[in-house]
Amino acid sequence: MRHVVGRHRYGRVQAVDRPCGRGPIGHLTNEFARIGEGYSAANDLEQAQSRVFQAVKRIVDASPMLKREARITADKIIFPAFHSATIASLANDYAGSAGANPTISVFDELWGYTSESSRRLWDEMVPPPTRKVTCRLTVTYAGFSGESVLLEELYRRGMSQPEVAPNLHAGDGILLAWHHEPIAPWQTPQWLDEMRRSLRPNQFLRMIENRFVTSESSFVEMIKWDMCVDTDVSPIISDKELVVFIGVDASVKHDSTAIVAITLIDQRVRLVTHKIFQPSPTEPLDFETAIEDTPIEFCSRFAVRKILFDPYQMQASAQRLQKRGLPIREFPQTSPNLTVASQNLYELIESRNLILYPDAAMRLSASRAIAIETSRGWRIAKEKQSHKIDVIVALGMAAHAATSQPAEQRIPLVPPKIITRGGDNSSPGDTRSTTQRYLDWSGGGASNYWGSI
């Protein structure tokens, strides 16, 4: 491309190589911009600067010829010897981009351009007719049907052109390379198997096979949920030396309210106990007697290290609990927070690092949970308003509270004192810690370690 003389035959170059890495196409094409204006655009300014633009800066630094000619600033590379040709990172700001005269504009992750402002940015960076050499280059993988409208339009337009080579279509001012099969040497069968294990089905189709998908999919396969259920495990009634973490997902009138307590056993998350409250429009939940009493009760039964809650409907209750000395912390259910908690819970289930006791209501909630994906991330949601998934959300919050703890703050070895409804399970002279007793049990030790409930 750097050797082309005269006007480009194709004003739009749609190169879809993201499943095999942020490769040479975007970077080397920016180098081409030494003869004019080159812009590196992305979903937001942070991505443009820290990913694509930083990679371009490294290329310039690594090349003795380019480095000698370049002047590098925080968001711009200038080549004074080439009529002050520039390569700049571009914020998602269409008004600030008006009047640009680009030789090339590189758009990264076009699937995330879903807003009106991002569409206007794309329009502002149209290749100008006054330049003999000019184009737009997009490096992306597939997006979400009905949401990534701009990318879908380009995809349909490109795929309607003649196929001039395998997976390469050209005509009507557009050159489209769109691959579904692996094309990089490091995309081995072992790597693909690892991606299938690590990603949910829709994410694998979109990110690895480069196929458009819908934004909704099942949160988890129920066969994998069932593999985490241990029929020999039951809720723990009380153990004041067992460190637990609590997640609270509260609602006053419509959704259920769930409080879930978990603990960490040898880096595996173990469900300790949980409670679900179901309010109604005519009988709203009494926060003070239900929601506030339960964390207080749990603190009297366990060594509670952290309680995460969504402040939307619990701010007043949280303030009262905090005054009583409970370790309660805000965890607003924003898209970034839900993405982190949801992904963590998903990975725990996939890797079988979650230990659950049998519970029909919790299993039903898991089966009704779906994953909604957007350009901002993905979150656990429900397909129908009548479905109750609050216990799964609370489980995700509690698991996040536990696994995000620094290693040195995790469960210490403590003297054994395990209490069930049947009494104290520890025997005289037994010096094993709570953690060790559980590990002995899970490896084939006492069959009813936690006792019957």
Contact by Cβ (8 Å): 301, 240: yes
Percent of the chain whose predicted confidence (pLDDT) is above 70: 72
Q: Are 313 and 252 in contact (CB under 8 A)?
A: yes
Q: Could you give the CA distance from residue 118 to residue 42 in angstroms, rounded to a whole number?
A: 9
Confidence bin at 102 (pLDDT 50/70/90): confident
- For each of the domains in the chain, give its residue range(s) and CATH number, in order of start: 12-178 (3.40.50.300), 222-409 (3.30.420.240)
Task: Please give the pLDDT value at position 422.
Answer: 43
Residue 2 — pLDDT band, cuts 50, 70, 90? Answer: very low
Residue 445 is predicted with a pLDDT of 40
Distances (CA, A) of 302 to 8, 77, 149: 70, 58, 51
Q: Which H or E run includes 294? A: helix 293-301
Pairing of strands 85-90, 76-79: antiparallel
pLDDT in tens, 211-269: 988 766 778 888 899 999 999 999 999 999 999 999 998 775 566 789 999 999 988 99
Q: Has this prediction a pTM greater than 0.85?
A: no
